[in-house]
Amino acid sequence: MKITHLIAGTTLIMIQCLPSDSEKHHLDIQGHRGCRGLMPENTIEGFIKAVELGVTTLELDVVVSKDKKLIVSHEAFFNHEITTLPDNQPITEVNQKDFNIFQMTYEEISKYDVGLKKHPKFPLQNKIKAYKPTLSMVVDTVEHYIKVNNLPAVRYNIEIKHDKSLDNLYNPSSDVFTTLVYEEVKRLGIAKKCNIQSFDPECLNILHKIDSTVEIALLVGNNDSYTQNLEKLTFKPDCYSPHYSLVNDQLLDYCRKNKIKLIPWTVNEEADIIRLIHLGVGGIISDYPDKVIELNEGLQHKSGKE
């Protein structure tokens, strides 16, 4: 009911704000955890807002609950920076890992608020009551919203949040986790319009073995060379997704020659966004996709491109 009200209340504004077909460009603008700079992260409300802004891809994370549901969450526990307990008390940094999502059913998970607490890093976030949704809830709501408002389709960039050292404590093993994600993506009918990414090469190798047609991205946050990182895979990925500070001409040339999309994360500052657009990356993951859209359209207009 809350989402229906949200949809009804924002439809006309959203349609007015979307870019026209003539303004479309080839840069894949990905809303990080929805649009974390503007709305609570990894919430349905945040994903709807990102769709309103005009992103091409929704970036999100999944973990696993006790009843084997895929929960859209960056951590496998309730982060103290965003969580309020069911009794309205805050979680602290000291005890946050005690609230282990892998040991909770979704009924229990849905009682925790992750939208009202003021985020210290994102002062512009609109504070609303929100909860962690399942992947199914996100996809069903977004697809319905797009359909009833006759909007352009979006893609999904789904991160498998697997840590081998936490197997059977905070997450299932890599094969179980990867299979759960693959089966749910197929069930939801988004296999052809999603990308599955992970920092864990083992999960990606398993996924490629299950279905080599699924688009896969290797996430990178280390200082190893791109060749060292890519050697951890048994196949050539569709995307290479490093921290934005690791992007340079050499990496860009390599990805172009090998037909690998280069999509850095998480790019929030104007100077960094402009630098990467000028370099010619395939996409940008940002907490502020509105800023990326505005800067990209400005640069396109300046260069005389549509």
pLDDT digits (tens, 9 = 90+) for 7-56: 333 333 333 333 344 344 489 999 999 999 999 999 999 999 999 999 99
pLDDT bracket for residue 6 (50, 70, 90): very low
- Copy the structure tokens of residue 296: 């990209």
On whether residue 21 sits in a domain, the answer given is no
pLDDT of residue 193: 97
14 CB neighbour count, 10 Å cutoff: 19
Output the domain CATH number for residue 223: 3.20.20.190
**Cβ pair 283, 30 in contact under 8 A:** yes
The residue range of the domain holding 232 is: 26-76+133-302
Element (H, E) at 229: helix 226-230
State the alpha helices, DSSP H only, in 63-126: 106-109
Residue 17 CA to residue 130 CA, distance in Å, equals 24
- Copy the structure tokens of residue 245: 């500070």
Percent of the chain with pLDDT over 70: 91
On whether residue 10 sits in a domain, the answer given is no
- Copy the structure tokens of residue 135: 């992947």
- Copy the structure tokens of residue 84: 């309020």
pLDDT of residue 297: 95
On whether residue 226 sits in a domain, the answer given is yes
Residue 196 CA to residue 179 CA, distance in Å, equals 12
On whether residue 177 sits in a domain, the answer given is yes
Residue 266 predicted with pLDDT over 90 = yes
On whether residue 11 sits in a domain, the answer given is no
On whether residue 98 sits in a domain, the answer given is no
- Copy the structure tokens of residue 111: 């009682």
- 76 CB-contact burial (10 Å; exposed 0-12 / middle 13-18 / buried 19+): buried
**Cβ pair 287, 264 in contact under 8 A:** no
On whether residue 99 sits in a domain, the answer given is no
223 CB neighbour count, 10 Å cutoff: 9
Average pLDDT, the chain: 92
pLDDT of residue 306: 53
How many distinct structural domains can be found in the chain? Answer: 1
Average pLDDT of span 161-179 = 98
pTM of the complete model? 0.91
On whether residue 2 sits in a domain, the answer given is no
pLDDT of residue 303: 77
